[in-house]
Amino acid sequence: MNHKFQEVDLMKRTLTSVLVASAMITLAAAPATAAVTDKDIENDAKSTGDVLSWGLGTQGQRYSPLAKVNTKTIKDLVPVWSFSFGGEKQRGQESQPVIHNGKMFVTGSYSRMFALDAKSGKKLWQYEHRLPDGIMPCCDVVNRGAALYDNLVIFATLDAQLVALDQDTGKVVWKEKIDEYSAGYSATAAPIIAKGMVLTGVSGGEFGVLGRVEARDAKTGKMIWVRPTVEGHMGTKDGKDNGISGTTNATWPGDLWKTGGAATWLGGTYDPETGLAYFGTGNPAPWNSALRPGDNLYSCSTVAIDVTTGKIVWHFQGTPNDGWDYDGVNEFITYKSKDGKHLGGKADRNGFFYVLDAKTGKFQRGFPFVKKITWATGLDAETGRPKFDPANRPGDPAKSADGKKGTSVFSAPSFLGGKNQMPMAYSPDTGYFYVPANEWGMEIWNEPVSYKKGAAYLGAGFTIKTLDPKEIGGDYIGAMRAIDPATGKIVWEVKNNAPLWGGVLTTKGGLVFWGTPEGFLKAADAKTGKEVWSFQTGSGVVAPPISWEQDGEQYIGVASGWGGAVPLWGGDVAKKVNYLNQGGSMWVFKLHKSGK
Ligand code: CA
Ligand code: CA
């Protein structure tokens, strides 16, 4: 069976049946919360009593300096509490919780937000965003988390709005529309904070939306700047024109740039040292690459934006003229290399891992982090530009006998990528990136298509397939891989039957934590990959774990609930894992104190 975009209609019907009115339940009057400041945000990666940002610090390293839970003590790690997100329909839970003042703020599927007592799991309040009929999320009704600023907790919704709630009461303080959901816009990424601004992207690359990054005053929601990620579009700052992104028609033919996609759907990271926000961009629209000869900037790229000026300082494109839906949205994580360089790493959906200069974007090195890549034979050593294999690009339907279907090719990775939305982690102790990778391929072909507002804009058909175990060294799809960015070597790996879809946490305690669709939260020795702990959460884990400290004890937390893009778009792989059950809950762990 071929998975086509009609499934979105099915999703819309599902959503219509669960329309929920906005509801806030304040159970107890809590003491007023100390405001989150820019200084707190910039110090987040070091402060152990809170988790203020998606990524445990805006650089996104997902490294906790806590070490009470370590390779020796982890045998005593036990659950403290679990909380059910409830609701009639459980779907993918991809959220990373944030923690402040002893409160946890975690988002759930269907644009819900829960405030919980971080120690006990007691519910403080719950907010359910009113979702209209006809929203068009491509890849399940997920949300990836919230940002904290001042007394606010801010998150994006499936109908492309930004909502800022009072941390204490859950009351709406401000609400802003990002764009029209009826034109295919939605929003699922966790916002990030930089210099008092809340930075967000947009979802909807399969509907020909205009990708961009927006910066608003985090306290009021007032727009400060907008930077389009498709070449030719005008940016704005303080309501005035702020220069066109790139040069109109330099890399796009005709009018295609007007509906060019390049959605910034996974959000971004921010490095206070460079003053740059790094946003990944998705596929150029439509998928059929025969229609748009050229590089199609800034699709499938990392775009570095000066948060003060709202202008693009540099970009690096992983897949020019993408023909495989290799969204380059993956997080760009800056770090200091062992030889003192300020670099950034990115495991791209296209199967290559890139190391770039954090300040200039200059290509340092790149290497595959998956075992099978068909679309390129390698990267140019100087520029990092892929060396395409023309025989492995899906063919132009205009050149077929009836003009309706281009030559079909088998491509790896599949369009769900060597890595997808699940964020990797970086440990300054080991110097390794911990990458949740997947080995799979697809049949893909092009078809004619024209843009229609609010309709899928692909011009492609596809079926995801498993790979021959002989080609990848075993019968598995997922693999947690420790990668040395200095050498490109896979130092260790832990294979997984189902595709990995959850993010990663690494700690000073020498551990790496990640979840599996089979429901396990796992921990391994960060140096060796030896599995040292696991716990069954009752449903698949597709979210990144966090760690924080409270009253002298270290906590680990993760959301559980199988879903996301794999069951919807996974073709043969979706069938292979269709035994997995849905869920929706938050799990928290700490060390059991024996004898007390
Ligand atoms: Ca912190
Ligand atoms: Ca895409």
At CA 408, angle to CA 1 and CA 571, rounded to 5? 25
At CA 302, angle to CA 410 and CA 306, rounded to 5? 170
Pairing state of beta strands 63-64 and 504-507? parallel
How many Å separate Cα 341 from the centre of its chain?
Answer: 26
| 462-476 per-position pLDDT tens digit | 999 999 999 999 999
381-406 exposure pattern, b = at least 16 Cβ within 10 A, e = fewer: eeebbbeeeeebbbbbbeebeeeebb
**458 CA → ligand 2 middle, Å:** 9
Residues 596 and 585: their CA atoms lie apart, in Å, by 28
**157 CA → ligand 2 middle, Å:** 19
Check residue 384 and report its DSSP letter.
-
Residues 109 and 140: their CA atoms lie apart, in Å, by 8
Closest-lying ligand to the alpha carbon of 59? 1
Active site residues: 325
Closest-lying ligand to the alpha carbon of 550? 1
- Provide the 3-class DSSP secondary structure of residue 245: coil
Residue 4 confidence (pLDDT): 46
User: Mean per-residue pLDDT for 527-553?
Assistant: 98
| 355-391 per-position pLDDT tens digit | 999 999 999 999 999 999 999 999 999 999 999 999 9
List the structure tokens of 7: 């499934």
Cα distance from N-terminal residue to C-terminal residue, the chain: 57
Residues 127 and 145: their CA atoms lie apart, in Å, by 14
Using only C-alpha atoms, what is the Rg of the chain?
A: 22
Q: How many CA atoms lie within 13 A of 21 on its CB side?
A: 3
| 183-242 per-position pLDDT tens digit | 999 999 999 999 999 999 999 999 999 999 999 999 999 999 999 999 999 999 999 999
**35 CA → ligand 2 middle, Å:** 37
**284 CA → ligand 2 middle, Å:** 8
Closest-lying ligand to the alpha carbon of 280? 2
At CA 347, angle to CA 65 and CA 503, rounded to 5? 50
**CB neighbours of residue 29 within 10 Å:** 9
575: left (phi over 0), alpha (psi -120 to 50) or beta: alpha
pLDDT exceeds 70 at position 19 = no
**253 CA → ligand 2 middle, Å:** 20
Closest-lying ligand to the alpha carbon of 287? 2
Check residue 88 and report its DSSP letter.
S
> Residue for token digits 């073709």?
571
pLDDT exceeds 60 at position 18 = no
Sign of CA dihedral 483, 488, 491, 496: positive
- How far are the Cα atoms of 77, 78, 245, 575 from residue 591, in angstroms, in the given order? 4, 6, 51, 38
* Portion of the chain with pLDDT greater than 70, in percent: 94
**pLDDT grade for 33, boundaries at 50, 70 and 90:** low
Q: Against a cut of 0.85, is the pTM above it?
A: yes
Closest-lying ligand to the alpha carbon of 460? 2
Residues 165 and 378: their CA atoms lie apart, in Å, by 47
Residues 372 and 434: their CA atoms lie apart, in Å, by 19
Check residue 14 and report its DSSP letter.
H
Peptide bond into 413 cis (omega under 30): yes
Domains of the chain and CATH, by start:
35-591 (2.140.10.10)
Check residue 370 and report its DSSP letter.
S
Residues 223 and 556: their CA atoms lie apart, in Å, by 36
| 34-81 per-position pLDDT tens digit | 899 999 999 999 999 999 999 999 999 999 999 999 999 999 999 999
At CA 164, angle to CA 158 and CA 166, rounded to 5? 135
Check residue 594 and report its DSSP letter.
T
**359 CA → ligand 2 middle, Å:** 27
Residues 6+ apart with CB under 8 A from 434: 424, 425, 426, 427, 480, 481, 482, 483, 504, 506, 512, 514, 526
**104 CA → ligand 2 middle, Å:** 31
pLDDT exceeds 70 at position 154 = yes
73-91 exposure pattern, b = at least 16 Cβ within 10 A, e = fewer: ebeebeebbebbbeeeebb
Residues 166 and 150: their CA atoms lie apart, in Å, by 9
Residues 6+ apart with CB under 8 A from 458: 5, 206, 286, 287, 288, 447, 449
pLDDT exceeds 70 at position 266 = yes
Pairing state of beta strands 223-228 and 240-244? unpaired
How many Å separate Cα 271 from the centre of its chain?
Answer: 17
pLDDT exceeds 50 at position 489 = yes
| 123-139 per-position pLDDT tens digit | 999 999 999 999 999 99
pLDDT exceeds 70 at position 526 = yes
Phi, psi of 448 (to 5 degrees): -65, 150
pLDDT exceeds 60 at position 161 = yes
**194 CA → ligand 1 middle, Å:** 15
**282 CA → ligand 2 middle, Å:** 5
Residues 6+ apart with CB under 8 A from 70: 507, 508, 509, 510, 511
- Provide the 3-class DSSP secondary structure of residue 189: coil
| 287-301 per-position pLDDT tens digit | 999 999 999 999 999
List the structure tokens of 286: 């439509």
Closest-lying ligand to the alpha carbon of 65? 1
**283 CA → ligand 2 middle, Å:** 5
* Portion of the chain with pLDDT greater than 90, in percent: 93
Residue 26 confidence (pLDDT): 46
Sign of CA dihedral 231, 290, 6, 544: negative
Residues 90 and 108: their CA atoms lie apart, in Å, by 9
Residues 6+ apart with CB under 8 A from 82: 121, 585, 586, 587, 588
Task: Find, among 159, 48, 137, the residue nearest to 508 by Cα.
Answer: 48
**444 CA → ligand 2 middle, Å:** 14
